[in-house]
Amino acid sequence: EVQLVETGGGLIQPGGSLRLSCAVSGFTVSSNYMSWVRQAPGKGLEWISVIYSGGITHYADSVKGRFNISRDTSKNTLYLQMNSLRVEDTAVYYCARGLLLTTRRGDAFDVWGQGTVVTVS
């Protein structure tokens, strides 16, 4: 069964660091592009980072220079290292799998985890 399970959220003070994990099952983390998407309380979805199968990474301007996305193929796990956390980073953080079509990326996300809550206060 294809599944994503996020862990690592919690309460952290401003300026602190936290590492989120997304355990992948049912497929290989490096075979797909993977993203982190967050949702502040009562707000909409905000994409924050992607790692492509070749290892290239990209970030939203709101987290660039503070967050780092990575993966460990031996553990089949995706990570999000979050540094210099701000109150406005408070959100539910989801990991999501990129949709793959036969000939190209689908530019959408077809599998999502249940989310992990990060509170910066």
Partner 1 sequence: DIQMTQSPSTLSASVGDRVTITCRASQSIINWWAWYQQKPGKAPKLLIYKESSLQSGVPSRFSGSGSGTEITLTISSLQPDDFGTYYCQQYDRNSYTFGQGTKLDIK
Closest CB 109 distance from partner 1, rounded Å: 6
Q: Please, which residues bridge with residue 9 across strands?
A: none
d(CA 36, CA 22): 9
Site for partner 1 in 2-41 (CB under 8 A): 35, 37
Q: Which stretch binds partner 1 (CB under 8 A): 18-26, 74-82, 83-91, 101-109?
A: 101-109
**Burial class of residue 66 (count of CB atoms within 10 Å of its CB; 0-12, 13-18, 19+):** middle
Place of tokens 């075979």: 31
Half-sphere exposure of residue 68: CA atoms within 13 angstroms, side-chain side: 9
Nearest residue (CB) to partner 1, 44 versus 65: 44
Nearest residue (CB) to partner 1, 101 versus 121: 101
d(CA 25, CA 29): 8
Closest CB 90 distance from partner 1, rounded Å: 17
Closest CB 74 distance from partner 1, rounded Å: 26
> Applying CB under 8 A, which residues contact partner 1?
35, 37, 44-47, 50, 58, 60, 94, 99, 101, 106-110, 112-115
